Every structure is written in C-alpha cells, then in structure tokens.
Structure 1
Amino acid sequence: MLSNWIKGLFAPKRPFPPLAPDAPFVALGDIHGRADLLARALDSIKDTQIVCVGDYVDRGDESAEVLRLLHARPDVVCLSGNHEEMMLNFLDHPQKHGPRWLRYGGLQTLASFGVAGASEATTGAALDAIAEQLQNAMGAELVLWLRNRPIFWQSGNVAVVHAAADPASPINLQTAETLHWGHADFETTQRQDDIWVLHGHTIVDAPFADCGRVSIDTGAYATGRLTAAWVSAHNVTFKTV
C-alpha cells in the first residue's frame, strides 16, 4: 500500500482536459452549522445552479438553521456528506453510533435543535431518548429530506462529491463510503476517464484546481471562510463568503 502511494505521488502527471460542464454552476464547500455564511452565499448567487458538497451539520452552532434553509430551497442541489451519514446513523441506532457522532460535532447539532442533556459520556438508553427528541425536533419531513440526499452530482466532465472518488472506478459506480469518507489513491492517482472531481471534506488553506481535482473546503466553522467555486467551461474561480 505504501509503495503504491509513493509510486503514485511521483508518477508523471499527464495533461488533464479542461473543465467542460454542461452549464455554469456554483459549488459551496462544507458549511458545518454556519447558517450566517450560507445565507450570505445564497443571497449572492443569482440565476446559476448551486450545488452543496455536504456536511451541513455538526461543529458549528447553527446546524438546524442550515438544514432548514437548504430544505426550503429545492432549486439547490444538496449532496450528503459523512456528517449527515453519522447523524442519520445515530437516529437509526443511537446506542451503536451515538458516541462517535457526539465526539465529532453532534453535541452542537443537538443544541441547535434544542435537545439538551447529552455529553460525550452519554451512553445506553439515554442515547435512545436523545435520538427520539432529535427526531421530534427535526420533524419527519426534514429527516426524510436528509435521507434522500444524493451522493454525487455531475455536469459534463465535472463530478461533485463530498470527500473524494476512487480514481479507478466510474463516478456512478462509487460507493457511499468512498464518496463520504475518501479514498487512499485519490490524491496521488489521476483518473483516466477525464472527469474532474470537485470535493470538500478535507480542509485546505486555500481552494485549488489541479490535475482533475478541485478542493473547496476552507473550514468554514473554524475559519469563518465558506468557499464558493464558480465553474464554467475552461475555468473555475473561487470566492470566499
């Protein structure tokens, strides 16, 4: 595994074809409970398709507001991320998945929905009760909307995903685990199908586009910088909200 990674890292990079979406669009990076930044971004983008890369909840303080804002915008494409996966796993199996989710930002999400009484030390039946409170606070419609988020979106030769993609597999055959959590070869091995992969999940100091990858997670919850990637034929520009 390590030898393959090293080979990929130093392998010569072939010229990658230019971006060629079917139509211009804007992708928004990981929001993580920053409803203020999301609202500002949505207000600033007019007459252009918006695609969000996932991770709407956890870590920031306004996850409930973020979900409600996005739920009210059916014109916005909202992908699922690994934090939505963890949240839904908690609702389905609180005792099994609760401890992990609470450690990775679930406490802030619970607080945003007005659900109190949880801590990282909460276990057992108490987690069942908290999951029920969260389910009730969200409401069936919002929970169903969250469950129905797609795991990728594609326009022309640009695929938008949450975390990464397996470079050896077609985009439509990727697993949710890969698209939500990443892939070991993503950063070192170029795709051979000429598909650009635009993603979030991994925080970068500045967004970039290089060798078929566009990375746009600038850590909004911690840095106060939510990145929007404006993608058009032969070009991508970045704006920070």
Structure 2
Amino acid sequence: MPPIAPETTFQAVGDIHGRADLLERMLQKLDPAVQTVFVGDYVDRGEDSARVLARLKDSDAVCLKGNHEQMMLDFLDAPERRGSLWLHNGGLQTLASFGVGLAESTPQALGQARDALHEKMGNELRDWLRALPLDWQTGNVAVVHAGADPALPINDQAPETLIWGHPEFDSVQREDGIWIVHGHTIVGGPSAKEGRVSIDTGAFATGQLTAATVTSGAVSFVTA
C-alpha cells in the first residue's frame, strides 16, 4: 500500500451507539477547525440515541449511514416485516430514548410503536437520516461504515457492502491504493495497517469512543 495521503487532514469518529456522554467528551477533544467525519451507527444499544441524533444533525460534520440507521429506517417503513431485526439489535433502547415503549411484538403493537416513533422524530430528522451518504473520500482515503469489496472501486460498491461489510475486506488487500477508514467491527484497539484504519472500539460496551486523525503519511488516535 502507498502511504496514506488525504488531500486535507480530517478526523473520523467511530461507532457511538447511543453514548451521548462519550460523544460530548469526544467533541471537546476534536479540533473544531478540522473536518470531522462520523462513520455511522449513532443509534441502538446505548441509552441516549435520540440525543446523539439531535447533536449530530445540527453539527457541521459529515455523517455517514451505518447499518443501525438503516435498520431503524426499515422499521419505520415496514415494522411488521422488518422490525424484528432492529429490535433484537438495540432498537428497544432507541425507542425508549424517544419516549416510546413496546411491551410486545404483535403486529398491532409494532405498528403503534412505529407511529409513535415517526411522530417523535419529526420530518426533519427522518429526512436527514434517509439522506445520509454512504462514503466520503479525500485523496487516497475513503471513509465508510463497515468496509468495502477489495475488488471494486469505491464508487462501484453496493450500498449493502458499505453498511454491512464484505467477507474479503479484512483478508484481501486492495490494488488501487485506497485506504479505508471504517467502524462496524469492534476491535480491541484502533489500528492503521494494510490499507485499513479500524476505529470501532465498542463504545456502548467498553465506554471507549475512538477517533482517528488522518494526515498525509500518518494516522493518530484519541479516545474519549
């Protein structure tokens, strides 16, 4: 791999998963003059997803869509058919953060919870979530949520690959010299090697939210 070489220095923040407290601490550590990119998975598992979304929506940062945002949108679109996956992966905590309860998983209850969440979120937040991009690039660096197919250019990646990952992402090196900054897969510590910069340190479980500062030829990490 060639040296990492963004056209401009930027900061990428790993998966937040409802930890608004860690997000606020991280924002205090980041340089406000440097472009910030969030890699997705703002909701679920942690207890304060609603506050995380409100904070990010009103920021100047680039916010990418993760698989948990997609599952949340799928619940809003088809709660009876697609809600179970979200609810079993932290969706209940996100509902609670918006003041929405769900005591049972009957079709009627799911529909009522969807309607309540739809109202609590409001049009502006829902539209913001749906419009989130799937990647961001500068120089020979691409930021995505989960990973990328090493055989395809970033612009040709399937949306499902960018938000759910690819089976060869961790084992096959790209040949186009593009470094991938990503979250989604929890790691024991952040790393930058073999064209991949991994920054999901499992904030909801470990209490550690990680960001990478990427400059020409170097990557450094900060943890909140």
What is the TM-score with the length of structure 1 in the denominator? Answer: 0.91
Letter in 1 for 2:162: L
SS of 2:136's equivalent in the other structure is: strand
Aligned pair partner of 2:81 in 96, 99, 109 = 96
SS of 1:65's equivalent in the other structure is: helix
Q: Tell me how far apart the structure 1 counterparts of residues 144 and 108 of structure 2 sit (CA, whole Å).
A: 35
Aligned pair partner of 2:124 in 130, 133, 141 = 141
More deviation, 145-154/33-42: 33-42
Alignment of 1:219-234 (within 5 A): 219-234=202-217
SS of 1:32's equivalent in the other structure is: coil
1:176 CA drift (Å): 1.1
User: Which has the higher Rg, Structure 1 or Structure 2?
Assistant: 1
1:204 CA drift (Å): 0.3
The answer on whether the counterparts of 1:80 and 1:151 sit within 8 Å (CA) in structure 2 is yes
1:190 equivalent in structure 2: 173
| Matching of residue 30 in structure 1 with residue 31 in structure 2 | no
Q: 1:131-182: per-residue Cα shift (whole Å, max 9, x none)?
A: 0100100111000000000000001100000001000000011111001111
| Matching of residue 85 in structure 1 with residue 70 in structure 2 | yes
1:98 CA drift (Å): 1.0
Structure 2 unaligned spans of 5+: none
2:192 equivalent in structure 1: 209
Q: Tell me how far apart the structure 2 counterparts of residues 196 and 165 of structure 1 sit (CA, whole Å).
A: 10
| Matching of residue 111 in structure 1 with residue 96 in structure 2 | yes
Q: Tell me how far apart the structure 2 counterparts of residues 37 and 205 of structure 1 sit (CA, whole Å).
A: 17
1:126 CA drift (Å): 1.4
The answer on whether the counterparts of 1:99 and 1:123 sit within 8 Å (CA) in structure 2 is no
Q: Tell me how far apart the structure 1 counterparts of residues 214 and 27 of structure 2 sit (CA, whole Å).
A: 16
Q: Tell me how far apart the structure 2 counterparts of residues 125 and 93 of structure 1 sit (CA, whole Å).
A: 12
Letter in 2 for 1:184: P
Report the count of equivalent residues. Answer: 223
Letter in 1 for 2:221: F
Aligned pair partner of 2:29 in 19, 27, 44 = 44
SS of 1:36's equivalent in the other structure is: helix
Aligned pair partner of 1:56 in 42, 50, 55 = 42
1:42 CA drift (Å): 1.6
Q: Percent identity?
A: 59
More deviation, 123-132/51-60: 123-132
Letter in 1 for 2:34: T
Q: 1:74-118: per-residue Cα shift (whole Å, max 9, x none)?
A: x100000000000000000010111111000000000000001x1
1:4 equivalent in structure 2: none
Q: Tell me how far apart the structure 2 counterparts of residues 90 and 197 of structure 1 sit (CA, whole Å).
A: 29
1:18 CA drift (Å): 0.5
Q: Tell me how far apart the structure 1 counterparts of residues 106 and 172 of structure 2 sit (CA, whole Å).
A: 41
Poorly superposed stretches of 4+, deviation over 3 Å: none
